[in-house]
Structure 1
Amino acid sequence: MTHPPVPQGNYVAAKRHGDLVHTSGMTPRDNGVLMFKGAVSPGVPLESYQAAVELAAKNALASARLLMAPHEKVAGVLSLTVYIAAEPEFTAHASLADFASTYLQREIGDDGIGCRATIGVANLPGNAPVEIQLVAIIAHF
């Protein structure tokens, strides 16, 4: 990703209050272009969706980092919400969301794992397969 995520409507990518940053929902976009489309299917291996989930998580984390001062870092994830546009027969929502949790843990450390909700929906903006929203904890160093 060479550019930070840009809102696709009348909202901000992230909002800070004290040491918490709430991000808007982020889809798997790169430079504003949706890189993955379509509903998640139960007949497709979960690993086929890993790049989409990780890109959405990367965008959410990047949005949080935009609101940090130079002497700050993302110290943890308080909560993570993963929306999955899934076909009705798909039931592995939590396993798919694990790709986001694992990505954030790799980027932040063990505190990258927070509370999580995974929600199956009929569709997402632009026909994205996944959308991720998080609340990050900012720390001074």
Structure 2
Amino acid sequence: MSRPSQPVPQGDYIPACRHGSLIVTSGMTPRREGVLQFTGPVRRDQSLEDHRPAVRLACENALAAARGLLAEGESLTAILSLTVYVAAEPGFDAHSKLADFASARLREELGPAGIGARTAVGVATLPGNAPVEIQLIATV
């Protein structure tokens, strides 16, 4: 089994850490090979669908970070917690609808076990002007 490509840290941290059967990821933005693919902020007048690819990519990076800590034969069994940070302009109020794109991606991957507790948070800015950042807590 080959290990998934780990997201490239943008600072002095690791993509994920593991303690026993728990894996906690760092916040992941929509990057490929360290390069931000989408920028923010999320605007009130934009379609939510415009942001689906950014949310899914950030979520896939979080999954890759978690999977990078799995031993051969192990798999993620459940998502315990999903935190979605949205860099949005004032007046944007559909944070949880954007977070639904991440929940849908996790459900695709793990079925009902992909849906755990969730928080969607609006923030003024994110690293590199990313529109979204995602952190996971998963079990092995």
- Residues in 1 aligned to 2:109 and 2:10: alpha-carbon distance in whole angstroms: 25
The one of 29, 40, 43 aligned to 1:41: 43
Task: Report what 2:13 is aligned to.
Answer: 11
Residues 45-79 of structure 1, C-alpha deviations (whole Å, 9 max, x = no match) = 10000000000000000000000011100111000
Task: Identify the structure with the greater strand proportion.
Answer: 1
The one of 118, 122, 140 aligned to 1:120: 122
Instruction: Give me the identity figure in percent.
Output: 58
Matches within 5 A, 1:78-97: 78-97=80-99
Unaligned 5+ segments in structure 1 are none
| Equivalences, count | 137
Task: Report what 1:52 is aligned to.
Answer: 54
Q: Letter of the 1:16 partner, please give it.
A: R
| Dislocated runs of 4+, deviation >3 Å | none
How far the C-alpha of 1:121 sits from its partner, in A, is 0.2
Q: Letter of the 2:15 partner, please give it.
A: A
Question: Is the aligned partner of 1:74 residue 2:84?
Answer: no
2:77 match: secondary structure: strand
Task: Give the TM-score normalised by the residue count of structure 2.
Answer: 0.96
- Residues in 2 aligned to 1:112 and 1:77: alpha-carbon distance in whole angstroms: 5
